[in-house]
Amino acid sequence: MTVILFCRTAIAGIIPSPQSRTFCNGYFTLDPRTAISADTASAPLAIYLQEYLPIMGFCGQLFTAQAIVMQVDPELAEEAYRLSVQPERIEITGGGYGGVFNGIQTLFQLLPSDVYAKQLQLPVKIACQKIEDAPRYSYRGQHLDVARTWMDESRVKRYIDFISYHKINKLHFHLTDDEGWRIEIRSHPELATIGGFRGGDSPIRAIYGKWDEKYGGYFTQDEIKELIAYAAIRNVEIIPEIDLPGHSRTIARIHPEILCNYTPDTAPSNGYDERSAWCVAREENYALLEDILTEVCELFPSKYIHIGGDEVQMEQWMRCPDCRALMQREGMSDPAQLQRLFMTRMMAILEKNGKYPAVWNEAIRGGQLPQQSRVHGWENLKACREATSQGYRTVVMPGEYFYFDMRQSAHEPGHNWAAIFDARKVYSFDPASLGFTAAEIKHIEGFEGAFWSEIPVSQHPETPDYTDYMLFPRVCALAERCWNENPPAWEEFYRTLTGSHYDRMSAMGIRFRLSPPAVSFRDGVLQAGTDDGSALFYRLETDSVWSPYQGPIRTDHPERYLFESRKGSGQSPEVGAPQFYRTIQPPVRITSSMPAGSKSPFARAEQYKAFARTTRTCRPGDWVLFSFDNPVRCREIFVQTGYLQLPRLIFNSGYAEVSYDGQNFEQAGALEQGSITIRPEGCPVYAIRITATCPDNGSSSVIIQPLRIKP
């Protein structure tokens, strides 16, 4: 006798939530004697499952009394599945391999979260139920930029695990860029052996991150094969990207002959040729490109190969007599047409190798591309609609919703040029309500999250914590949106996230982000709270030790407190009351031993509250002096040169001094990554001076950020 219980809240325990779930009477007891049965198509998944479940193991077609039975039923769509938990057996039936894999992921979410840590204690009772499920989109993607921040095989495998637990099935693998070449090309080994390492004595300059140290790595083709196989077991297809014809500075440093036919002005970059676009007119370039792409096509089983097409600096072509002559011969008026010509030639190479092209959205602007081209819309919603409205199969990933290198709130690390957003905004992404027409929606192949890695390389490239923090739980929201056209309300999703999925992610080992605690200050009382069951801590901004938050804090100085929360391996950002973030802009004059730049002179920096620029890089002994018109009393002054991710525009090393009387200077400490926080504790500050101790950065300028002064 089966009792059908169907209610939405019961479904909410699984991310992404299944299409239908009905409960029945009874339990299946998973114990060490449980066997696994799999048909031929699902056989690799029996081995996969055994890694996670300490049970008897793979028994081929043998049905024992207690078994997990996996099979393919071609009547179902490829990635659809049925999961049936009965007292004697669990049946996972998928339309294809991917369907069975998806069913396993749902089964994992019916188990205690320890399953992800491969530490499940048996026996475990699972309520009898039937789940029928299928994804909304066949393309559910996550992008990973291993060009800017080198991430080795174990790290990439870790991300494949994480995304596959969320039924994400495409890894867009960004392998080459201006700052690194990460894939062995056997016919041109120098591309990886030189281009995989930048900084130090490498011809590739460290635009981002580590400067003096030669830093990096690359994947051999054997390692790539291993990654492809690892991903395939997890129903993840790796789609490689060789970013062309722009973003090619690395290869251009190794093969400068690929560049356009003119001598660039390298004075601003101290002799460094920063050009990054392949010359379209140089015929020999196509032989090298064919060598590269042919190897890539042979290596990756994916039908699509991403060949870039974004942010090409076409002014390089316009300065090139050969490119201009080519445009004239072809009757072209717009360099975007030149890009189309280049892309068309790349596509011919792909076609010869049985592949289809994937491109960034700018690539469609020079004229029609083959209709089977897959277009990744990234610039904004309009660019995504432009691709869908022209009938291209489109991966929708506008930066303002899906670029997970963007910061998640105003005071957290990350970029902000596309938007500042957290998982809730990702979760809100609905093409229909964002203006896509029904015809445009038909051409959406799926969604993709992006992780560009300029920032982590400058901070802690050796640990994955930052990447985890930026990706999760935004990837969870992406997964739900890719899977379901009508997902549960955010509140319900958030209940599942906090009630179950945080524990799962902790067991997975993800250092995910918790929502910031809510902090308020009223009538002398500072209060903080969370809505996710996490433990709250606080500290004084001058003290690094956190204490458990026991309740409201009575204080006259709410601006001095910081709060954070923790749950499992999740951590919130540090947050304060609004008073904590308040800054002042007292009149200040900037002078320096380095001449001021003409574009961003020191004199105006104070007025326009933007950065100032010098006309040359710093050398040992160079200084910048900030003099206040009136002495400033404040608790904190933050001095920063450059941007964290751009080491060549900072004082790489140096120290700061403070004058409390307008005449004498006291040591205030060493600069770290070009910055320092000075705490005058209310003493009047007349001036601050920073002095460089680093050798020439090889760059054209130093950037001086406005002082951040907290009253």
Residues engaged in binding Zn ion (CB under 5 A):
260, 279, 281, 320, 322-323
User: Any contact of residue 643 with ligand ACM (CB under 6 A)?
Assistant: no
3-class SS string, 537-598: EEEECCCCCCEECCCCEECCCHHHEEEEEEECCEECCCECCHHHHCCECCCEEEEECCCECC
C-alpha 641/C-alpha 650 separation (Å) is 5
Choice between 243 and 422, CB closer to ligand ACM: 243
User: Any contact of residue 310 with ligand ACM (CB under 6 A)?
Assistant: yes
Q: Strand pairing partners for 304?
A: 356
C-alpha 214/C-alpha 199 separation (Å) is 4
User: Any contact of residue 161 with ligand ACM (CB under 6 A)?
Assistant: no
Q: What, of ligand ACM, Zn ion, none, does residue 183 touch, CB below 5 to 8 Å by kind? A: none
Handedness of CA 313, 319, 325, 329 (dihedral sign): positive
Residue 618 tokens read as 């710093």
Q: Show Cβ contacts of residue 543 under 8 Å, excluding neighbours closer than 6 positions.
A: none
Residue 693 tokens read as 């101790």
Q: Quick check: helix, strand or coil at residue 338?
A: helix
Choice between 279 and 685, CB closer to Zn ion: 279
Nearest 10 degrees: Cα torsion 283, 288, 294, 300: -130
Choice between 319 and 708, CB closer to Zn ion: 319
User: Any contact of residue 322 with ligand ACM (CB under 6 A)?
Assistant: no
User: Any contact of residue 404 with ligand ACM (CB under 6 A)?
Assistant: no
Nearest approach, Cβ of 593 to ligand ACM (angstroms)?
37
Nearest approach, Cβ of 320 to Zn ion (angstroms)?
3
Handedness of CA 325, 331, 333, 338 (dihedral sign): negative
Residue 272 tokens read as 């460094």
Choice between 453 and 640, CB closer to ligand ACM: 453
Q: Quick check: helix, strand or coil at residue 473?
A: coil
Helical axes 335-352 vs 321-330, angle rounded to 10°: 80
* Greatest CA separation for the chain: 90
Residue 669 tokens read as 């400490």
Choice between 38 and 279, CB closer to Zn ion: 279
Choice between 173 and 360, CB closer to ligand ACM: 360
Choice between 291 and 322, CB closer to Zn ion: 322
Nearest approach, Cβ of 277 to Zn ion (angstroms)?
8
Burial class (CB in 10 A: 0-12, 13-18, 19+), 19: middle
Residue 507 tokens read as 């067991």
Nearest approach, Cβ of 99 to ligand ACM (angstroms)?
31
Q: Which residue is nearest to ligand ACM (CB)?
A: 310
C-alpha 488/C-alpha 483 separation (Å) is 11
Q: What, of Zn ion, ligand ACM, none, does residue 260 touch, CB below 5 to 8 Å by kind? A: Zn ion
In this structure, are strands 237-244 and 666-670 parallel, antiparallel, or unpaired? unpaired
C-alpha 187/C-alpha 55 separation (Å) is 47
Q: Show Cβ contacts of residue 511 under 8 Å, excluding neighbours closer than 6 positions.
A: 464, 465, 468, 469, 569, 570, 571
Choice between 36 and 147, CB closer to ligand ACM: 147
In this structure, are strands 237-244 and 215-216 parallel, antiparallel, or unpaired? unpaired
CB 106 within 8 A of CB 68: no
Among 211, 378, 512, 628, binds ligand ACM (CB under 6 A): 378
Choice between 626 and 643, CB closer to ligand ACM: 643
Choice between 406 and 685, CB closer to ligand ACM: 406
CA-nearest of 48, 105, 104 to 71 is: 104
Q: Which residue matches tokens 């991903």? A: 231
C-alpha 570/C-alpha 469 separation (Å) is 8
Choice between 188 and 376, CB closer to ligand ACM: 376
Nearest approach, Cβ of 404 to ligand ACM (angstroms)?
12
Choice between 311 and 351, CB closer to Zn ion: 311
C-alpha 408/C-alpha 315 separation (Å) is 34
Nearest approach, Cβ of 196 to ligand ACM (angstroms)?
21
CB 155 within 8 A of CB 464: yes
Q: What, of Zn ion, ligand ACM, none, does residue 279 touch, CB below 5 to 8 Å by kind? A: Zn ion
Choice between 193 and 328, CB closer to Zn ion: 328
Q: What, of Zn ion, ligand ACM, none, does residue 400 touch, CB below 5 to 8 Å by kind? A: none
C-alpha 42/C-alpha 60 separation (Å) is 10
Nearest approach, Cβ of 378 to ligand ACM (angstroms)?
5
Q: What, of ligand ACM, Zn ion, none, does residue 378 touch, CB below 5 to 8 Å by kind? A: ligand ACM
Site string for ligand ACM, 274-293 (x = CB under 6 A): --------------------
Q: What, of Zn ion, ligand ACM, none, does residue 311 touch, CB below 5 to 8 Å by kind? A: ligand ACM
Nearest approach, Cβ of 273 to Zn ion (angstroms)?
14
User: Any contact of residue 421 with ligand ACM (CB under 6 A)?
Assistant: no
Nearest approach, Cβ of 436 to ligand ACM (angstroms)?
20
First to last CA, the chain: 71
Among 311, 322, 351, 465, binds ligand ACM (CB under 6 A): 311
Q: What, of ligand ACM, Zn ion, none, does residue 421 touch, CB below 5 to 8 Å by kind? A: none
Q: What, of Zn ion, ligand ACM, none, does residue 696 touch, CB below 5 to 8 Å by kind? A: none
Q: What, of ligand ACM, Zn ion, none, does residue 492 touch, CB below 5 to 8 Å by kind? A: none
User: Any contact of residue 401 with ligand ACM (CB under 6 A)?
Assistant: no
Return the number of other C-beta atoms located less than 10 Å from residue 376's C-beta.
29
Q: Which residue matches tokens 């011919």? A: 348
Nearest approach, Cβ of 207 to ligand ACM (angstroms)?
15
Judged by CB under 6 A, the number of residues near ligand ACM is 4
User: Any contact of residue 108 with ligand ACM (CB under 6 A)?
Assistant: no
User: Any contact of residue 402 with ligand ACM (CB under 6 A)?
Assistant: no
CB 487 within 8 A of CB 16: yes
Q: What, of Zn ion, ligand ACM, none, does residue 310 touch, CB below 5 to 8 Å by kind? A: ligand ACM
Choice between 124 and 314, CB closer to Zn ion: 314
Nearest approach, Cβ of 241 to Zn ion (angstroms)?
23
Tell me which residues in 348-377 interact with ligand ACM (CB under 6 A). Answer: 360
Q: What, of Zn ion, ligand ACM, none, does residue 323 touch, CB below 5 to 8 Å by kind? A: Zn ion
Choice between 273 and 400, CB closer to ligand ACM: 400
Nearest approach, Cβ of 279 to ligand ACM (angstroms)?
21
C-alpha 48/C-alpha 45 separation (Å) is 5
Footprint of ligand ACM on this chain (CB under 6 A)? 310-311, 360, 378
